[in-house]
């Protein structure tokens, strides 16, 4: 073989294997810079991509022209000046030598990043109000970028996905929570809204946090050390052998079920057993810390946006994880803000009521612990929480009423970011004090006053005198405070409210009928 033939083959192999070199020969953009996208209004907007090394790139959009030169590795980035909202659809032209890309029908409005686990991923088509709301979802001013689930061992620069205009044909695939939130913001402001939908069911918050951030935290260091140990001991051959054996066993069971189902009507057929999945290498397993940050968060870093909305926590409601949720969740939020170099607002959903109803005080609950840890995350500036302890389902971790959730999230944005005065939350614990044999609890977000949602005496208040033995308490409203007492407790030390995975009967609300969050004075 001739030398020049070897050189050609070598160059081709390098171009195939390198994640960036395939982009150097021609002008290219990340997938989210595409037709029908929404760009953030009133902020300088970053646009970036790849081109031939050391060449000029020009961007023309909405009366603005910006130019830059690609680096020696082919990367380029420009910043367009802040622009006013525009819902009429504008084209963008990007040129690099003879290469030209024209992106069509771009809106300027509000961009929100929607992430989390399965309750954020929960589709509109499966929600409680889908039959009435999907047929009415035709709105080109509400758009969703649907990102593909992408685990990765290293931070990625791109992700597969497309922008979609809201319509009866497309909206069913949108996250229901973000859809209702976006729709409400658009209706109240008249401004276009773009949602970047980037979520994956069953994942801990640590999956969405960068390795560098995890290593800055003592708990994170331990998790990364364990991750590295697992990676070092991972045996791909053994994993493949185990998978092959599991598949062989599954095929036998599946064949038996198929034979049994052969002559049965569909309604009487037995479901096939769950198909085994291959064990992924440690750094590519989506259940592990940092893996989803690498594949699903890092590609978007720098995309100019208003803020983030988040629904997650179920996967962290476990011993050893629940107690540190505030710390790890706060770490993730700060990590994202650092990466974007923007202290953007971050609004999240508190876990809903779930599982069997408890009837005795003093119960331990990892679910309740995560809920309270979420409440305490509000100590971080620029955050807000939607309390939904009244719309959950005891037997379904995925409650179908997602409209209420989305609308409660939208309250935070409408009040804080769009200057639409309203009560953003149900009552949130503020402070407490002991007076004789009673504890006086004060709240924020009382609206025009506290009340019982059902007109009955307040329930699900517990009180203790030794921080170990809890008793059901009498709780009475006095102005914007709650007076809590119990004849068995003469010297109270702590009070807590709705401390259960499913605190049926919890009925403290404000004048807007927004429910009070779980709290414990012992944890503050």
Q: Quick one: what percent of the chain has pLDDT higher than 90? A: 94
156-177 per-position pLDDT tens digit: 999 999 999 999 999 999 999 9
In degrees and rounded to multiples of 5, residue 219 shows phi and psi of -65, -40
Kindly state the average pLDDT of the residues 375-395: 97
| Cα–Cα distance measured from residue 435 to residue 442, given in angstroms and rounded to the nearest whole number | 13
pLDDT at position 5, please? 37
Confidence of residue 489 (pLDDT cuts 50, 70, 90): very high
DSSP state of 43: S
Q: Given the structure tokens 């910043």, which residue do they identify? A: 79
Average pLDDT over residues 131-146: 98
Q: pLDDT digit string (tens) for 3-26?
A: 333 333 333 333 433 344 443 459
Rg of the chain, C-alpha, whole Å: 26
Percent of the chain with pLDDT over 70: 95
Identify whether the C-beta of residue 208 lies closer than 8 Å to the C-beta of residue 348.
no
Q: List pLDDT tens digits, range 176-228.
A: 999 999 999 999 999 999 999 999 999 999 999 999 999 999 999 999 999 99
- The pLDDT value recorded for residue 301 is 98
The set of residues, in sequence order, having a beta carbon less than 8 Å from that of 346 and lying 6+ positions away, is: 307, 308, 309, 310, 333, 336, 337, 380, 382, 383, 384
Q: What is the pLDDT, as a whole number, of residue 524?
A: 80
Question: How many Å separate Cα 83 from the centre of its chain?
Answer: 27
* DSSP secondary structure letter of residue 294: I
* pLDDT band (50, 70, 90) for residue 1: very low
pLDDT at position 523 is 80
Domain ranges of the chain: 235-268, 428-523
pLDDT at 382: 98
> What is the reported pTM?
0.93
pLDDT for 2 equals 34
Across the range 33-39, mean pLDDT stands at: 98
Each residue's pLDDT tens digit, 233-289: 999 999 999 999 999 999 999 999 999 999 999 999 999 999 999 999 999 999 999
Q: What is the pLDDT of residue 467?
A: 86
Question: 49-90: per-residue pLDDT in tens?
Answer: 999 999 999 999 999 999 999 999 999 999 999 999 999 999
Strand order in the sheet with 519-520: 470-472, 461-464, 494-497, 519-520
- Other CB atoms within 10 A of residue 433 CB: 11
Which among 501, 502, 459 is positioned nearest to 368, based on CA atoms? 501
Per residue in 405-443, pLDDT (tens digit) is 999 999 999 999 999 999 999 999 999 999 999 999 999
Quick check: 58 and 14 in contact, CB under 8 A?
Answer: no
**What is the DSSP secondary-structure string of 386-406?**
E--TTS-BTTBSS-S-HHHHH
Residue 227: the pLDDT is: 98
Question: What gap in Å lies between CA 56 and CA 34, rounded to an integer?
Answer: 20
Q: Please, which pLDDT band fits residue 367 given cuts at 50, 70 and 90?
A: very high
């Amino acid at each position: 073989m001739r030398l020049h033939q070897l050189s050609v083959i070598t160059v081709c192999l390098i171009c195939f294997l390198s994640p960036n070199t395939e982009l150097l020969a021609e002008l290219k953009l990340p997938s989210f810079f595409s037709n029908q996208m929404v760009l953030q209004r009133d902020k300088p907007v970053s646009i970036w991509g790849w081109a031939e090394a050391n060449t000029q790139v020009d961007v023309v959009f909405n009366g603005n022209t910006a130019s830059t030169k690609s680096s020696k590795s082919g990367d380029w980035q420009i910043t367009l000046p802040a622009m006013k909202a525009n819902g009429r659809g504008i084209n963008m032209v990007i040129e690099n030598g003879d290469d030209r890309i024209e992106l069509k029908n771009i809106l300027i409005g509000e961009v929100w990043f929607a992430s989390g686990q399965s309750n954020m991923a929960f589709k509109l088509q499966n929600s409680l109000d889908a039959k009435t709301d999907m047929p009415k979802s035709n709105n080109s001013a509400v758009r969703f970028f649907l990102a593909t689930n992408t685990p990765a061992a290293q931070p990625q620069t791109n992700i597969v996905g497309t922008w979609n205009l809201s319509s009866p044909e497309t909206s069913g695939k949108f996250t229901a929570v973000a859809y209702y939130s976006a729709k409400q913001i658009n209706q109240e402001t008249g401004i276009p809204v773009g949602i970047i939908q980037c979520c994956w069911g069953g994942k801990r918050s640590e999956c969405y946090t960068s390795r560098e951030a995890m290593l800055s935290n003592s708990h994170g260091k331990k998790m990364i050390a364990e991750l590295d140990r697992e990676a070092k001991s991972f045996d791909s051959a053994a994993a493949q052998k185990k998978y092959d054996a599991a598949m062989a066993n599954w095929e036998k069971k599946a064949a038996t079920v198929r034979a049994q189902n052969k002559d049965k009507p569909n309604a009487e057929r037995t479901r096939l057993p769950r198909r085994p999945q291959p064990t992924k290498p440690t750094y590519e397993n989506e259940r592990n810390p940092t893996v989803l940050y690498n594949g699903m968060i890092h590609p978007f870093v720098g995309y100019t946006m208003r803020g983030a909305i988040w629904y997650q926590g179920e996967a962290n409601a476990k011993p050893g994880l629940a107690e540190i949720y505030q710390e790890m969740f706060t770490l993730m939020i700060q990590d994202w803000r650092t990466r974007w170099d923007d202290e953007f607002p971050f609004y999240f959903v508190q876990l809903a009521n779930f599982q069997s109803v408890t009837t005795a005080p003093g119960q331990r609950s990892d679910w309740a612990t995560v809920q309270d840890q979420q409440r305490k995350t509000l100590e971080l500036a620029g955050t807000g929480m939607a309390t939904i302890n009244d719309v959950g389902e005891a037997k379904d971790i995925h409650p179908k009423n997602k409209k209420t959730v989305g609308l409660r999230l939208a309250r935070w944005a409408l009040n804080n970011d769009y200057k639409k005065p309203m009560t953003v939350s149900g009552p949130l614990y503020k402070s407490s004090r002991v007076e004789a044999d009673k504890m006086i609890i004060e709240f924020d977000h009382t609206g025009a006053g506290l009340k019982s949602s059902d007109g009955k005496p307040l329930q699900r208040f517990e009180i203790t005198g030794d921080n170990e033995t809890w008793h059901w308490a009498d709780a009475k409203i006095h102005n914007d405070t709650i007076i809590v007492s119990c004849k068995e407790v003469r010297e109270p030390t702590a009070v807590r409210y709705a401390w259960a995975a499913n605190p049926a009967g919890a009925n403290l609300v404000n004048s807007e009928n927004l429910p009070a969050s779980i709290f414990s004075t012992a944890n503050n």
